Structure 1
Amino acid sequence: MNMRNIVIPLGLAALIYVAYDSLGWQGVAAVGGGILMWLLLHFTRLMTVMRRAAERPIGYVGSAVMLNAKLKPKVNLMHVVAMTRSLGVRISQEGQEPEVYRWTDGTDSHVTCEFVHGRLAKWTLERPTKPEPIASDSGPSPA
């Protein structure tokens, strides 16, 4: 179980208790307003990221190489979606850990990301191989 699901609500409850103990109901109102503002900021960011992602094709990124350079371990899926401005194509089965998503650019290069408990664990960049140029058997052309 993710400890954040326990620690954050307990911390908020403790903050409300301390506010009530020191300032009474005015303190609870002030801390409650701050918590509500924090929640609204996160909700607004989530909606902005999802609106931008809805405007682009699923699994498309402008440059897979640049995405590969910007990725860092332990960022959450929403952060990666915000960077790509696109939802990734799901490779793994629904509800299976790790969750695997792929973003592809116009040159068929793609970045495959694995998320464990919603956090980026590892990623790989794959670029298409260029076909070797066909060597001509004829010698130099006369001038």
Structure 2
Amino acid sequence: MRFLIKIALALVAAALLYWGYTEFGWAGVAAVAGGLMMWLLLHFTRLMTVMRRAAQRPIGHVDSAVMLNAKLHAGMPLVAVIGLTRALGELTSPADEQPEVYRWTDPGGASVLARFTHGKLTDWGFKRPEADTSGNE
């Protein structure tokens, strides 16, 4: 499916370039190429901003696991979740295997465990810290 999307985007870009050439000549090609380059730079800048913010925080940290749990929905890309948490998740699954499982923990000990398949959120779970039942304070 992802392969088909990449092919479709390439075909749309080629069609736009062809349209620019047939309507306006080489000036149209330059204008369309400039627009495509701006679109690519916009997405690259957004990705770098998210990663720069995430690099400034500890891995697996989130301000509130409860709020993160409430904001997640199936199909979210990993980059969007990193943008919400402003931190990279702690990888809990074996490296380079699908699905990838990441954990984010808040200062109170509550955590969200999220499973991603091919970069898309499939499911997640919220875990509260265990209460101390020994009576010691």
Q: TM-score, normalised by structure 2?
A: 0.91
- Separation of aligned partners in 1, 2:90 and 2:75: 20
In structure 2, give the amino acid aligned to 1:113.
Answer: A
1:39 aligned partner? 40
Give the equivalent residue in structure 1 for 2:96: 95
Q: Following the alignment from structure 1 to structure 2, what is the Cα–Cα distance between the partners of residues 66 and 90?
A: 20
Instruction: Indicate yes or no: 2:48 matched with 1:78.
Output: no
| CA distance, structure 1, for counterparts of residue 97 and residue 6 of structure 2 | 20
Counterpart in the other structure of 2:50: 49
Q: Considering only aligned residues, what root-mean-square deviation do their CA atoms show, in Å? A: 1.4
Which one has a bigger Cα radius of gyration? 1
Structure 1 CA distance, aligned partners of 2:76 and 2:17?
29
CA distance in 2, matches of 1:77, 1:38: 21
The amino acid that maps onto 1:61 is V
Q: CA deviation at 1:39?
A: 0.8
Tell me, what secondary structure is at the counterpart of 2:70?
Answer: helix
Per the TM alignment, residue 93 of structure 1 is displaced from its structure 2 partner at its CA by 1.6
Aligned partner of 1:30: which letter? A
Q: Report deviation, 1:133.
A: 7.5
Give the counterpart letter for 2:16 in structure 1.
L
Q: Assess, with a 3 A threshold, how the Cα gap between structure 1 residues 129 and 89 changes in structure 2: closer, same or farther.
A: same
1:21 match: 22
Counterparts of 2:115 and 2:5 in 1: how far apart (Å)? 20
TM-score (norm 1): 0.88
Identity of aligned residues (%): 54
Q: How far off is 1:73 after superposition?
A: 1.4
How far 1:19 sits from its partner (Å)? 1.4
- Structure 1 segment 122-137 matched on structure 2, within 5 A: 122-132=123-133, 134=135
- The secondary structure found in structure 2 opposite 1:15 is helix
2:81 counterpart SS class: helix
Higher helix residue share? 2
Displacement after TM superposition at 1:15 (Å): 1.4
